[in-house]
Every structure is written in structure tokens, then in C-alpha cells.
Amino acid sequence: MIKVGIVGGTGYTGVELLRLLSQHPEVQLTAITSRKEAGMPVAEMFPSLRGRVDLCFSTPEDAKLTECDAVFFATPHGVAMAQAKELLAAGVKILDLAADFRLKDTAEFEKWYGMPHACPEILAEAVYGLAEINREAIKKARVIGLAGCYPTSVQLGFAPLISPKSTGGKKLIDLNSLISDSKSGVSGAGRKAEVGTLMAEASDNFKAYGVKGHRHHPEICQGLSAIAGGQSVGLTFVPHLTPMIRGIHSTLYARILPDGKDVDYQSLFEKFYAGEPFVDVMPAGSTPETRSVRGSNALRIAVHRPQGGDTLVILVVEDNLVKGASGQGVQCLNLMFGLPEKTGLSHIALLP
Amino acid sequence: MIKVGIVGGTGYTGVELLRLLSQHPEVQLTAITSRKEAGMPVAEMFPSLRGRVDLCFSTPEDAKLTECDAVFFATPHGVAMAQAKELLAAGVKILDLAADFRLKDTAEFEKWYGMPHACPEILAEAVYGLAEINREAIKKARVIGLAGCYPTSVQLGFAPLISPKSTGGKKLIDLNSLISDSKSGVSGAGRKAEVGTLMAEASDNFKAYGVKGHRHHPEICQGLSAIAGGQSVGLTFVPHLTPMIRGIHSTLYARILPDGKDVDYQSLFEKFYAGEPFVDVMPAGSTPETRSVRGSNALRIAVHRPQGGDTLVILVVEDNLVKGASGQGVQCLNLMFGLPEKTGLSHIALLP
Amino acid sequence: MIKVGIVGGTGYTGVELLRLLSQHPEVQLTAITSRKEAGMPVAEMFPSLRGRVDLCFSTPEDAKLTECDAVFFATPHGVAMAQAKELLAAGVKILDLAADFRLKDTAEFEKWYGMPHACPEILAEAVYGLAEINREAIKKARVIGLAGCYPTSVQLGFAPLISPKSTGGKKLIDLNSLISDSKSGVSGAGRKAEVGTLMAEASDNFKAYGVKGHRHHPEICQGLSAIAGGQSVGLTFVPHLTPMIRGIHSTLYARILPDGKDVDYQSLFEKFYAGEPFVDVMPAGSTPETRSVRGSNALRIAVHRPQGGDTLVILVVEDNLVKGASGQGVQCLNLMFGLPEKTGLSHIALLP
Amino acid sequence: MIKVGIVGGTGYTGVELLRLLSQHPEVQLTAITSRKEAGMPVAEMFPSLRGRVDLCFSTPEDAKLTECDAVFFATPHGVAMAQAKELLAAGVKILDLAADFRLKDTAEFEKWYGMPHACPEILAEAVYGLAEINREAIKKARVIGLAGCYPTSVQLGFAPLISPKSTGGKKLIDLNSLISDSKSGVSGAGRKAEVGTLMAEASDNFKAYGVKGHRHHPEICQGLSAIAGGQSVGLTFVPHLTPMIRGIHSTLYARILPDGKDVDYQSLFEKFYAGEPFVDVMPAGSTPETRSVRGSNALRIAVHRPQGGDTLVILVVEDNLVKGASGQGVQCLNLMFGLPEKTGLSHIALLP
């Protein structure tokens, strides 16, 4: 059994880790920390766990995290990087659900997250946690900066169009005018008391936000550029707050270049994701629904070329808390410890 | 492996059976019928099942149901009773999610369901599928009439107050003035195209219905009377349509009689349900939430006596499609085939 | 034109007052205060008011409230009573949407609101703002303690059964075992940043709260007792949080006494509310929907006697922010200033 | 008073017309037809109208529509064109909320709506009902084909960028690569009993639809081309079903051409819509919310140029049933009868 600790379990990614890990056959949950709620049974905060998870929140001191095999950080930005060094020294593997180990450029990190990076040397070795792209590196990693929720959907949606493995190096689409019109359920904003995500504000309502600039923009560009073999990428990214609890739907737009005029995009996507346990390329003409992945680690994609024109439309859905966060974390954990990638991730989406 | 067929899989209890049974370690799904959709992959209608259930809907003829060990009916009322005789003759066990085998009085059945009963002799041997009450009989049954969604919540909420096992024969509450104010999510109305349950009608809205009389009223009264050792029962039952997908919340009211003045109701409930795998008596003062059981077979109860007065308030939550339907069915299936009762029912509720 | 000021306009009752009063033909809005947001245009906080309300929030000092004809308090409990004396001295009429002038018993006020009452002498003269019950007193009042949202629905639902005007002094129902099972949309919790009313927590979910005791319980009992001519009243009140924005649905239960066996309750209700501009007694057999009053000052009632038995069921719907708060305030304002009661309150509910 | 009849009042645009017209100071509602529901009071179908609209549905024969001054068609496609000739002959003005008089090319009409056009000569004189674009023509029109819900948002969003009045004939953006990523609430699908818009299917869910082709695509292209002075237009249009009742949010993307590099787009939009009674160009940096126009005829726009790059992002919100349908109809009616354009359209949006 892999001994796993969770730092910061009072948010939505925390409770989702508890749901997934408490049913994982190879994991033993040893501690979950919350300085503020230390002593409270987690099942008191999250009644869905009554009878299923007996842990109480503990202080970081009591949690003895250095005795774990792996530690998840389900914390605000900045926490993981402050504790990474000590844990690594103790031989503990780290999976961070926040952004501390995502952006390779520390200046970019500081610009978007408002703090200097505490451990650039660990950042340098950290692997970006998106298994479909970085599987082999993840297997060997000590530190994972898990891909963000929006970035997962956007990168996996564009990857078959830009990865040299897929394109053979041809320029199928214009890398400088990519568009991602993304819609997220409100759980993406976390379990923080804020007026903007009150039900009386956010339900029966729809709006864009972060149009000027969103923290996931540099992360997506970094990732797409890496997938594209280092080419620079120009992306317009517009996130929207959607009146539902879970789910991300990214509608991606790409302009086809001359080399891409005669490509069979359905085949291209199917080949690229052949054998992937969690990516489902849907039949031509499909329109995936967010509820089809609610509670599951699946990500579904459909590719369209309306009227056979020059604009490709890629539709991507995922559960922001599973494939966009905690499920992705468990998927990486499985890889890091040599387990079959699907272990503990067999949940079928809840529909209706 | 138990070979299981499903008759009528295009509704919500059908897809929920598929979710539960396809992950059940001792079950082999052999057929799912829909005359109308014969030939269509179930995963085309329910994309949550893509990659997880490979069955296509088949005609009843092609389904070879007589070769099954057990058959679920997830059909409109009247279908199961028409096919029961042939299946029983072939040694197949029957679990009906509709009402064909719930009401023991055929006149009552005809009054509420508008058709004569096709097989009173099978009805006579059928066992009411509510495991917490009828566990031993279910183990030996050939035909189960599974308890309805509302009735499950109301009966399990009142049972500790009226069962002689619990009360020692004392009259703790007035059996003639019971009240159940019940609220159900819209999936309870099924997957039928109707104006009243369109999202534009039912969301951001709340209303009662069926106040004059609801089909579940005689079922609840029959069940409560049986639990109470045959005493007659007077119940006011008011169901309400609630703007959520899943979940039932029944708020029960009972008048305490002199013999019930000094009872410790928290203990009474805890004792009655001690050891039950799916009934969770919450700590004193709790207010259970429907989301705490979303997708799980748990049913949670809290008992209150406001201001120490003469009115007991019992709060009960369940997922109408799981403990109120398909999960209850799997629970009974496990009992009928000698499996541990929790087999295949370990899902933790999806929260948020 | 009546010069009206609003103290505390950043909550939902505040923006609702702005919606109603800015379209009121006899009202001139002169000031709206918020110390915290002073200087901000109200239309910046509430974009629905762009182009319709040009006011900025002002400090209480700048608002010159003593020059108003009337002042609404849309504030937390305790604010109105601190400022009432000065305003009354300046001849300003006061309408308080909070609880400062509801409970006549200062000990009860202190028990439920956790502070001593600042001006018992003003409380003594204050009139309870429920026009259908206190119309004449409201016309002459200087200070109105507007009825709470739940209490409005419960009192108007029970009134025809207990008011001597209606019953001729007969005891139709048992006053000691009244039950109100009430359901409120989330806007009832106000525009405060709290985890419990986040959309990710409160949507697709249903739960009771405040079962042990709720501040509206003593208010309702006081009101019912007054309506019943001073008889004491025993009420079980269970409020529930419902996943919708606006609306209250109270399901009321009463036990019929011998004198009530032969009463035509439909007629009783219709007579009691004949001529009332905002109370709609629906035809026999109706089940009112909360959306039928969304945004309007109407309150709809239906009375049922299931199976002709001994339990009456009364269904009441209102918009908690209109008839349950701000609309009720405008209705009282009209009465206080001799205007037709419906002035500025002609909005038709928004459906769908 | 203008005598107005409504053909087909049982859908959402019908009830919305009733809400608006019954409060319109210059309109007398004379008839509302529904062959199926003839004789039923409209307030029985739509309880929001109880006490406010006394009409019953009548047969077309009883409705005496030829005695009206104007008739609205809130019907399926094909109805208005069948009755137009007779009404025009009687001097009745026609406003069609369906698509019979939108597409000028009868072949396109037949392609998308599956029926030949019944009266091409009337189609030829019909005016497209989008007041901000066609105000003068509407004033003189006998027949209005009211703009569709999506098309209203998309055309008004792009208009300032492409109208020669605004651009002085310069090519600011690439007309051949326009993108509209549009999101609509479920009321856009109408009040038809369909599985796809059941609350259990559509709530807590998000999906695209009609990606291959949508009836509004040719309408939008025709309109944009007309606004652009006859230039052809290439548009990718992806509509999405959004889990809310009302509201459309169109997120528009346009590529800036060299002539558009140095334009102040905020000013461009503000100038173009200066004086418009219902179009609100929001301050720079704004993100409009659909709820800010819920129930009102306002349409709000914000224009963004993320990171000063080459892609413009225009955000547009409207209430699909008001500015996208019935409110637009009333706005045109006012123009046709020489009334101030805002008459009867002063509703403030319902927030929250």
C-alpha cells in the first residue's frame, strides 16, 4: 500500500481526492491536514464521507507527512513550494494541485501569482502533470505540477493538431490565432466564501470573466508550445462562469492552413488518442455533454469542420474536479508508483 | 457470475441499473431490452457509458431473458406482471422497479394504476423489496416488488417509532395523524417528454402536486401498517417537485403520545438501525442534505424534537434513483443470491 | 412626490427596493447609504440598474436622511433601532425590513437577536407591517416593523382559519399543533459571502435547517396569536433551503376540530381575502408554483383537505424578496402616505 | 388604443407578449388564439397572469383578427405566411416571431425550414425586425419578420465593426473569419415536450449543438452582409445549450486587419450606439451578465482586445425572450404606430 497524505483538505479538490483515494485499492490515506479545522472529522465537513472516511483533519505537525510515500497539495498557491524541499529530502513524492510547479518561467509565476518562487531548483525538475502528454516523464518524477483544469481541456483538444508526432511536422493550423472559448462550472472557483459564486448570484446567469488575462493563459501557451515542439503559440482565451456545479466545456477554434486542407481530422484525433485510457474521441458529428463525465476521469472530444470550411471547431468536456484536478492527480500517482494507470479511477459518470 | 437481464432500459432507473450492475463484481449483464431502440448501443443514448457498457438494446425476443438468473423490470407499470409467469417458470428471479408487485390488494392496484392485476397468485407470493424491513423474506423470494422512492424514505423514517421490535409494543406516537412532507428531484418523474418537467418550467420553481391523492400513498400506508404489526395508519402525504435532478427529502411529523413522552429518540433510532449497511442515523441536531447521498445507496436520517414539545420531526434523505430504486434493486439482488449485501454498492456520494 | 431614503442598499432587499421604488410614480429616491461602498454608483454593483438608477451609495452623513419623508432600513438587525429616534424626531417615517420592530417582547428580541433592544418605547408604538392584517394601523403608523418572509406566508396561510372575523369565534382547528413546513430560495439568506449558500453547495441539493429554533418562530407565533384574538398558539416550524433563487413555499398543516368538520374551506378563504389586491385564493385543487409570483407582490394560496380527512393542507407561495420583504414595504409605504395600495406594484411575475 | 391580436399564445414568446402587452399603455389585447386550447383562460395555463389577463384562448375563427390593428404570430414556422395575405388585405399589420419573413432568399428558406415559401411577394416587402439597424424601414412596414434570438445578439455585436456608417468604409476586421460562440438558456428551445430539455437532462450540464449548421446561420450572415453594405461574410457559429432559463450570451471573435490596428474600439461602439434606448455599451473592461437583462429589453455589450492583440472579443447579452423575441416585437410595434420606442418596455431586469 502506498501511504498518501493530503495537505489542505477542506476545498473541493480535497474532498474529491478523499472520494477517489479512499476507494483506491493500493492507497492508504494516512493524514489530511487543515490547521484551521484540526481535530474535526472530515466526514463532519463532508457528510458524503460518513461511514467511509474516518480521518480527522490534523495539524501539519501531527500529520507526519515525511513518513508518507506521496503527498498531495490541495492548497492555495504558494504552500507546496514552501514544503517541497523537506518532503523531497525525506523521499516523499509530491503532487501539487495548485500552480506552484506549473510555470517553468519564475518571472511569469511571479507576475501571475504575485509572489516570488521559493524553490526554482525544484521547479526545474518538476514534471507537468498531464499524463497523455508527459507519461514517461511522470513515471520518473519526484514532483508533479498537475495541469490546471482549463489547461487540460485546451491542451488535449489542440494536441493532435500541433504535435509533430501527429502532424509529421506539417503546419495544419495557424498556431498564432488559436481561440479557446471555455466554460466552467462554479466548483472551479473553489469552496471559498465569495459573493460572486453565491447561488443567488451565479445560478440562472452566464458571464465571461478574466478576459484581460487569466492565470491559465500562460500555462496553456507554455503547454501548447511544448506539444508543438517549441513553436510559439498565440491564443485568445475567454473563460466563462457557467451555472452548473461541475464540468468544463472548451470550444476551440483553429484556422486551417494550406497543409491542413485535405486532412481527415476525425482519423487524426482517433489515431493520436488510440489506447488512451481516459480520452474518448467521439464519433464524427458528436457534441459531448459535460454530464457525460460528471464524477469520472474521462475527457471526451469531438472535432468538427463546419461546412467544410477553414475553421476547425473542437469540443472538449471534462469534470474539472476529476480529470481537471484530483483524478488527474491519482492518474499521475498511479504512473509514479508503477500501477496500472486506471487503478482506482473506474467511476462511471453520474447521469442524470 | 449471476446472469442479469434488464427489461426497459431507456429510462433513468434503467441507466442507473447499468451504472451499478456494469461495475458489480458478481454480475454479468446479458441483455437490455427496448423494442423501440432495438439495435442502438446503450452508450449512444447514455454517453456516460461509452467505453464501459458495450451492450445494444435488443428486442424482448432476442434478449433470451429465460436464460437469465434474474431479470429487472425498469418499465412502466403493467409490463412485469405480463411476463412474470413465463420467467418464473424458467426459474428466473424477478425484481420489478415499477408497482406491479407492491400493493397486495388488487382492488387498490386497479384503482391507482387503472388496470386489473394480471397475476394475483404471483402477487401473493411477491415480497416487498425494502431490505431493512424484509431482509429474510427477500433472501428466499422469487419475485420482488421493489419499494417506491417516496415510500422508502417515509417507511424507514417512521419505522423505529412504530415497529414493535423497537417500541416493545408501546404506542409512542399517534398512528392516525402521521404527516410526510416529501420533496423530490425531477428525475423522479422519469425520462418522459413532458412540459411540466422541462427545465424552463421546473427549475427555479417549487410546487406541491398530487395533494388529493398519490399512488405512493396506499403503498406507504400498507408498509407502515405492516411494520406496525398490522395496526391501521392515517397519513397525510404531500409530495413536492424540487428544482434539482436527484434526491428525496422527506420531512416527517408525528405526534407524541403519553407513552412516548420520555423516550430518548436518538437512541431509539440508533438502536433500530445498528448494523444496517445503508442507513445512517446522524448525530443529534443534524440536518441531512440530499447531496450527501447523491449517487450512493445510503439513506440518512436525523430525528428532532423541537423545543422538547409533542411533535417529532424526522428528516430523511436518499437518492431517489439509488436507494429509492436501482440501488435498492441491487441490494435485494445481493440478498437473493447470497452475496454480501453491499456488493457493488460502495459508491461514495458525489459532493459537490 | 414622497422623498424616500434607503439605509443599507447593498443586499438583495436593497436592490429590490431600488427596482420597485425607481419605477414608483409617486416616489423620489433621494439617497441610498452604504458606508463601505460610499461613492460607488449603485448600477456598478447591480448592473440591472444601469441607465435606470443614477444614485451613488453615500455615507449616512451625506445622505441627509432627516430630510426624507420616509426611510427604509435594508440593514442587519440592530441598525434601525439605533437611528429611529432621531429620524422620528425629524418627522421621518420608518420602515424596517430587519427584525428591530417585529417582536413586541424585548426579552424575546434579546434572546433571538443577541442584543438588548435600544428603544423599547418606539418598539411599543411600532406597527407590524403585514397589510392584510394591520391595514388601518399601518395607515396611521410612524414606524413599521415589516413582517419577515416566512412569517408573511405562514400567517396569511393560517389567518382565515383562526381569525374571529372569519370563524365567528368557532374553533375550527387545533391551535396547539400547527405545522409549517416552509421552503425558501437561497436569496433569503442574503447577499453575504458564506460557504453554505455557494452555488456549488446549495444547488442540486435540499436540506432543512434551524429545526431546533429559528428567529421567525416567535414572530410567527406572536402574529398568529394576535390574529386569533389573543389565544396562544403551538407551532412546529421547519424551514428548508431550496435550490432556487427566489420564492417561498409554505406547506401548512392543521388538525380540524369538531367545529371545523363541516366547513367549506374554499369559501372561507375566498371570503376572507375578497378584495385583497395581492392575495390570490386559487381555485379548489390548485397547487401554486413559486414562479407564478417571481418578481411580483402577489401571494397565492390553495387550501386542500386530502380525502376529506381531519388534516387541512394549505399551500402558500410568495416571492420572498417582494411580498416577503421589499414589495411589502412599498405596500405599507403606499398605505402610510394615502396612496392606492397597488401604486408601483403592478409587476407581472416573470414566467418562465 | 392599438388593437392587437396574438396568434399562438401557448409558447414562451406568447406568454411573454402577454406580460408585455397587458401592461402596455397604448395597447388593447383583443384576442389570443390556440385551436387546441380554445376556451381555456390564459391565466390557467400561465398562473403568473392570474388577475392580470382575463382573455381565454380562442379559435382563429372567433378571434376576428382582421379587426385588429396589428397581429403577432408566436407560432411555429409556416403559420404566418399562410395568413399574411388575408390580414394585409384587411389593413392589419403583421409581426412574425417565427422565421417566415426573415430570409429573403426563398431557396434558403426552403432549405432550412423544409417547406416552400407561401408568399414570396409579401416576403419581398417584409422588413427585418431589428430596430437598431432598420428603424426607418420598420416605421413604414406592413410586415415585420422579427430578428431571431441569436441573430439579434450577433448582429448588434458586430455591427459597429462592419457598418460603413461606423467604419467610414475602412476594413477594420476580417469579414471572412468571424466567430460567434453563443450560449442560450433553455427557454430558447420553446415550450415543447422534448427529452433533451427536461430538467433532468439539461440542468447541471453544458453542450454545443447544431455545429454542422443551424437555421440562424443564414439569417445572421444575411443580416451582417446587409449591415456591411453588401459585402459577403464568413461566419463560424456554434450555439450551446446553457443550464439557465433565460438569456443569451454571445462571445464574438474578430480578427483585426491593418486598418483596424489603431482604432479605439470602446469609442467606436459608444458612438455607434449613442442614443439607442435599449443598447448599453458597458465601460471598458466589463463582462456583462445575462441576469442583468433578465426580463428587460436591454442588450448589453462589452468590447475587449486582450493583450492588445489582433483578436477582438465582443461580449453581448440579452434576454432571448425579450430583446431576442417579444420585447423586440413590441419595440417594432411602437415604431410602426408612431409611439415612443420605449413605450411599455420600461421593465428593470430581475436581479437576483
DSSP per-residue letters across D213-225: --THHHHHHHHHH
Chain B residues with CB under 8 Å of C183 CB are 183, 206, 240
Chain C residues with CB under 8 Å of D204 CB are 203-204
- Cα angle A32, A33, A38 (rounded to 5 degrees) comes to 115
Give pLDDT, residue D242: 98
Give pLDDT, residue B129: 98
Helix or strand or coil: residue D157?
helix
Q: Smallest Cα–Cα separation from D202: which of A247, C272, B131?
A: A247
Mean predicted confidence (pLDDT) in B11-24:
97
Using the beta-carbon criterion (under 8 Å), do C287 and B183 form an inter-chain contact?
no
Closest Cα in chain B to A22: B348
Give the integer Cα–Cα distance in Å for A67 and A87.
9
Q: Smallest Cα–Cα separation from C286: which of C304, C298, C272?
A: C304
% of chain D beyond a pLDDT of 70:
100
Mean predicted confidence (pLDDT) in B172-187:
98
Using the beta-carbon criterion (under 8 Å), do C207 and B179 form an inter-chain contact?
no
Q: Smallest Cα–Cα separation from C302: which of C343, C254, C251?
A: C251
- ipTM confidence score: 0.97
Using the beta-carbon criterion (under 8 Å), do C12 and A200 form an inter-chain contact?
yes
Q: In Å, how far is A348's CA from the nearest CA of chain B?
A: 7
* Domain assignment of residue B183, yes or no: yes
Best mutation target, C207, C215, C265, to test chain B (most B CBs within 10 A): C207
Name residues of chain D where pLDDT drops below 50: none
CA dihedral C37, C38, C39, C44 (to 10 degrees): 30
On the CB side of C23, CA atoms within 13 Å amount to 20
Pair D104, D44 in one domain:
yes
Helix or strand or coil: residue A160?
helix
Pair A302, A185 in one domain:
yes
Give pLDDT, residue A1: 95
Chain D residues with CB under 8 Å of A150 CB are none
* Domain assignment of residue B332, yes or no: no
* Domain assignment of residue B203, yes or no: yes
Give the integer Cα–Cα distance in Å for D339 and D333.
8
Which residues of D have a CB under 8 Å from any CB of C?
A: 12, 15, 19, 22-23, 46-52, 187, 191, 203-204, 245-246, 280, 282, 288-289, 291-296, 298, 300, 321, 346-352
* B119 classed as catalytic: no
Pair C62, C187 in one domain:
no
pLDDT tens for chain A, 352 residues: list them.
999 999 998 999 999 999 999 999 999 999 999 999 999 999 999 999 999 999 999 998 899 999 999 999 999 999 999 999 999 999 999 999 999 999 999 999 999 999 999 999 999 999 999 999 999 999 999 999 999 999 999 999 999 999 999 999 999 999 999 999 999 999 999 999 999 999 999 999 999 999 999 999 999 999 999 999 999 999 999 999 999 999 999 999 999 999 999 999 999 999 999 999 999 999 999 999 999 999 999 999 999 999 999 999 999 999 999 999 999 999 999 999 999 999 999 999 999 9
% of chain A beyond a pLDDT of 90:
99
Closest Cα in chain C to B237: C306
Best mutation target, A45, A194, A198, to test chain C (most C CBs within 10 A): A198
3-state helix, strand, coil in chain D (%, to 5): 40, 20, 40
Give pLDDT, residue B204: 97
Give pLDDT, residue D19: 98
Q: Smallest Cα–Cα separation from C23: which of C66, C52, C60, C61?
A: C52
% of chain C beyond a pLDDT of 90:
99
Pair C65, C172 in one domain:
no
Give the integer Cα–Cα distance in Å for A250 and D175.
24
CA B90 distance to own-chain centroid: 27
Q: Smallest Cα–Cα separation from C36: which of C51, C19, C56?
A: C56
Q: Is the pTM of this model over 0.95?
A: yes
Burial of A121 (0-12, 13-18, 19+ CB in 10 A): exposed
Using the beta-carbon criterion (under 8 Å), do B244 and C243 form an inter-chain contact?
yes
* Domain assignment of residue C137, yes or no: no
Pair B207, B167 in one domain:
yes
Chain D residues with CB under 8 Å of A240 CB are 183, 249, 251
Give pLDDT, residue B118: 96
Cell triple for C57: 451609495
Chain A residues with CB under 8 Å of D246 CB are 204
* Domain assignment of residue D272, yes or no: yes
Pair B315, B206 in one domain:
yes
* Domain assignment of residue C326, yes or no: no
Using the beta-carbon criterion (under 8 Å), do C298 and D51 form an inter-chain contact?
yes
Pair C226, C293 in one domain:
yes
Pair A111, A166 in one domain:
no
Closest Cα in chain D to A239: D251
Domain that holds residue B102: 2-125
Q: Smallest Cα–Cα separation from A145: which of A155, A134, A153, A156?
A: A134
* Amino acid present at D296: S
Give the integer Cα–Cα distance in Å for C91 and C98.
21
Give the integer Cα–Cα distance in Å for A21 and A29.
7
CATH number of the structural domain spanning residue A108: 3.40.50.720
- HEC per residue, C260-324: HCCCCHHHHHHHHCCCCCCEEECCCCCCCEHHHHCCCCCEEEEEECHHHCCEEEEEEEECCCHHH
CA A242 distance to own-chain centroid: 18
pLDDT tens for chain C, 352 residues: list them.
999 999 998 999 999 999 999 999 999 999 999 999 999 999 999 999 999 999 999 998 899 999 999 999 999 999 999 999 999 999 999 999 999 999 999 999 999 999 999 999 999 999 999 999 999 999 999 999 999 999 999 999 999 999 999 999 999 999 999 999 999 999 999 999 999 999 999 999 999 999 999 999 999 999 999 999 999 999 999 999 999 999 999 999 999 999 999 999 999 999 999 999 999 999 999 999 999 999 999 999 999 999 999 999 999 999 999 999 999 999 999 999 999 999 999 999 999 9
Pair D232, D311 in one domain:
yes
What average pLDDT does chain D have?
A: 97
Domain stops at, among A125, A158, A177: A125
Pair B154, B259 in one domain:
yes
Residue that has been written with the C-alpha cell 417594432 in this structure: D332
Cα–Cα separations (whole angstroms), residue D346 to B128, C51, C246: 59, 11, 22
Give pLDDT, residue B141: 98
Give pLDDT, residue A246: 98
Catalytic residue, chosen from B68, B149, B221, B332, is B149
Peptide bond connecting C352 to the previous residue in cis, omega within 30 degrees of 0: yes
Give the integer Cα–Cα distance in Å for D323 and D149.
8
Chain D residues with CB under 8 Å of A317 CB are 206-207
Pair C203, C307 in one domain:
yes
Give the relative orientation of helices C216-227 and C106-113 as an angle to the nearest 10 degrees: 150
Closest Cα in chain A to C192: A195
Best mutation target, C50, C55, C300, to test chain D (most D CBs within 10 A): C50
CA-based torsion, C289, C290, C293, C297: positive or negative: positive
Element (H, E) at A269: helix A265-272
Which residues of C are catalytic, by number? Answer: 149
Instruction: Give the number of domains in chain D.
Output: 2
Q: Which of A187, A200, A204 is nearest residue C200 as measured by Cβ atoms? A: A187
Q: Which of A201, A291, A309 is nearest residue D204 as measured by Cβ atoms? A: A291
Question: Residue D347 contacts by C-beta under 8 Å, 6 or more apart in sequence?
Answer: C347, D20, D295, D296, D297, D322
Contact A298, A316 (CB under 8 A): no
Cα–Cα separations (whole angstroms), residue A269 to A225, A275, A276: 19, 12, 11
Best mutation target, A182, A203, A211, A315, to test chain D (most D CBs within 10 A): A211
Q: In Å, how far is B268's CA from the nearest CA of chain C?
A: 19
Using the beta-carbon criterion (under 8 Å), do A287 and D177 form an inter-chain contact?
no
Using the beta-carbon criterion (under 8 Å), do C255 and B290 form an inter-chain contact?
no
Chain B residues with CB under 8 Å of A46 CB are 351
Closest Cα in chain A to C12: A200
Closest Cα in chain A to B191: A352
Give pLDDT, residue C166: 97
Chain A residues with CB under 8 Å of B316 CB are none
Pair D18, D52 in one domain:
yes
* Domain assignment of residue A331, yes or no: no
CATH number of the structural domain spanning residue B265: 3.30.360.10
Residue that has been written with the C-alpha cell 454517453 in this structure: B47
* Domain assignment of residue D329, yes or no: no
